Amino acid sequence: MCAMQRLELRQGQSLTMTPQLVQSIKLLQLSHAELAAYVEAELERNPLLQEGETPADAPVPSLAHFLRAKQKAEAARPRLVPGPPPSRGEAVPASGGQAASAGHSELRPEMGDVLAQATNLSAHLEAQLDLATADPKLRMIGEHLIHNLNEAGYFTEDLAEFAARLQVTPEEAETALRLIQSFEPSGVGARNLAECLSIQLHERDRLDPAMEALLAHLHLVARQDFSGLRKVCGVDQEDLADMLAEIRRLEPKPGLAFAPAVIDVLVPDVLVRTTPEGSLNVELNPDTLPRILLNRSYYAEVAKVVRKDEDKSFLSDCLQTASWLTRSLDQRAKTILKVAAEIVRQQEGFFRQGVAALRPMTLRSVAEAIGMHESTISRVAANKAIGTERGTHTMKFFFSAATGEGEHSAKAVRHRIRLLIEAERPSDVLSDEAIAQKLRADGIQVARRTVAKYREALRIPSSAERRRRYKLKA
């Protein structure tokens, strides 16, 4: 007898990430400088786009102008390279439906191609992360780690606090960090100089016990205490000289190879001001918003006279690309403003009282409050800043996990520790336990070891070292 075959009809939903939708997502995480460069490139290659408002008496460009623009765009068009597939569960901005409905225009290259001359460290590491793992959770943690590296390529945040903010286990965060540390440039993702050098030496198969001892005593290297180094490393003078020479050949700041030649001043994307009535007004900074429009009258005039199929195709691509870009920029601005408004709402205490009033706030709490995905919030917070009456701060500054048993932000607690130490008298230097007791008296339940951890993160010496320095000054 023949086996019976069953046919079943199943209905389900899936997200198809079109190239335009991927581009829309990437627009969110661009800084205002990167966005300006991308828009400038689009204005150069697309004759239907114009910057700012068009005067009422402005002449309509001719067909010859359109053909010259077409020739210029084709000459400058880079070879398209498909981007990596998105991870499962990838979030999309609120305008995803509109952007996804249009087909991909060959007129517009990948965003990475436009900004290739200024490839940053994050993009370089994200490309490696896409190839290194298919685990969506590991990739999510990895992306957040990458966006939290400083310019030198170091991860300086407390890993336990970072894991708590993402609501993952410290072990999962450690696994993701180890993965990032296996990427190029060698040494990236290190938490300190010793770990950075250790990663590079391990890749060169030169991390022997003597070298490990040397890395554990870099303070002796700084003091040029060669006698002490020979003793702790168990080597003679010649071997020590070779080890130090090898250390000097390493790169102590691997991320600087991807740093821009000119450091941008922190320009706010969002401005927060107190109104005369006492409320907080949140608005986008008009100086960082690109002003581009689709010149429909130009399109209508050219569409009447264009004859060749290739010219019609180019004109159609221009219209499609210009429509997509104007919509995406509008949605990007709305998304940034929506996220910023929620940050201000949750951190109102900071805007009225300062750092000491910062509350714990995670990506998830913001995402749930405004109905967006955590990865969308992460992209919005990347490379953006908020200008306040208390200075300009990155958006990431306002995110912090809770510490102790109360609802206190780790950043606020670190700020309190700094103030307590700055106010101490040379005759009454505060130990970590004394600081913990003062914080507990103010309702902040923290352990002595937590105070020590935060003090070290602030690069403040121990009480014994501070006491010694006070005596030297006296």
Mapped onto helix, strand or coil, the DSSP state of residue 274 is strand
User: Which residue did the predictor score with more confidence, 63 or 337?
Assistant: 337
- The tens digit of pLDDT for each residue in 237-271 reads 888 888 998 998 999 999 888 766 444 567 899 99
Q: Domains in the chain and their CATH numbers? A: 121-259 (no CATH), 409-473 (1.10.10.60)
What pLDDT is stored for residue 187 in this prediction? 93
- The tens digit of pLDDT for each residue in 381-400 reads 888 999 998 889 999 889 88
Torsion angle (degrees, nearest 10) of CA 142, 116, 327, 339? 30
pLDDT band at 107 (very low <50, low <70, confident <90, very high): very low
User: Which residue did the predictor score with more confidence, 65 or 45?
Assistant: 45
Mapped onto helix, strand or coil, the DSSP state of residue 177 is helix
Q: Is the pLDDT of residue 192 over 90?
A: yes
Distance between CA atoms of residues 22 and 99, nearest Å: 9
What pLDDT is stored for residue 263 in this prediction? 45
- Helices 63-76 and 309-346, axial angle in degrees (round to 10): 70
C-alpha distance from residue 250 to each of 124, 206, 244 (Å):
20, 12, 10
List the alpha helices (DSSP H) in 347-429: 348-353, 363-370, 374-381, 410-422
C-alpha distance from residue 374 to each of 77, 138, 298, 326 (Å):
35, 15, 41, 25
What pLDDT is stored for residue 64 in this prediction? 59
Distance between CA atoms of residues 229 and 86, nearest Å: 49
Q: Is the pLDDT of residue 183 over 50?
A: yes
Strand 402-403 to 408-409 pairing:
antiparallel
Q: Which tokens in the block code for residue 29?
A: 């995480």
Per the CB < 8 A criterion, the answer to whether 82 and 111 are in contact is: no
In the chain, % of residues over pLDDT 90: 28
Q: Is the pLDDT of residue 226 over 50?
A: yes
| HSE, side-chain direction, 13 A CA sphere, residue 472 | 6
Q: What is the CA radius of gyration of the chain?
A: 27
Q: Is the pLDDT of residue 335 over 90?
A: yes
When mean pLDDT is compared over 2-6, 136-140, 261-265, 457-461, the highest value belongs to 136-140
pLDDT band at 472 (very low <50, low <70, confident <90, very high): confident
Q: Is the pLDDT of residue 109 over 70?
A: no
Q: Is the pLDDT of residue 78 over 50?
A: no
Question: Across the strands, what pairs with 456?
Answer: none
| DSSP structure string for 340-356 | HHHHHHHTHHHHHH-GG
Distance between CA atoms of residues 270 and 267, nearest Å: 9
Lowest mean pLDDT among 268-272, 294-298, 303-307: 303-307
What pLDDT is stored for residue 406 in this prediction? 58
pLDDT band at 196 (very low <50, low <70, confident <90, very high): very high
Give the Cα-Cα-Cα angle 209, 210, 214 (nearest 5 degrees): 115
Strand 280-284 to 270-274 pairing:
antiparallel
Other beta carbons less than 10 A from residue 340's beta carbon: 24
* SS3 track for 288-329: HCCCEEECHHHHHHHHHHCCCHHHHHHHHHHHHHHHHHHHHH
What pLDDT is stored for residue 12 in this prediction? 56
Q: Among 49, 27, 39, 140, which residue's Cα sits nearest to residue 93?
A: 27
Distance between CA atoms of residues 204 and 250, nearest Å: 11
Averaged pLDDT, 10-29: 66
Residues 6+ apart with CB under 8 A from 87: 130, 134, 136, 139, 140
- The tens digit of pLDDT for each residue in 417-436 reads 999 999 988 888 999 999 99
What pLDDT is stored for residue 47 in this prediction? 82
Residues 6+ apart with CB under 8 A from 458: 414, 417, 418
Averaged pLDDT, 450-474: 86
Q: Which tokens in the block code for residue 60?
A: 């309509």
C-alpha distance from residue 457 to each of 138, 190, 397, 414, 417 (Å):
26, 15, 15, 9, 11
pLDDT band at 11 (very low <50, low <70, confident <90, very high): low
Q: Among 253, 23, 255, 27, which residue's Cα sits nearest to residue 119?
A: 255
pLDDT band at 17 (very low <50, low <70, confident <90, very high): low
Q: Which tokens in the block code for residue 269?
A: 């994307």
Question: Across the strands, what pairs with 468?
Answer: none
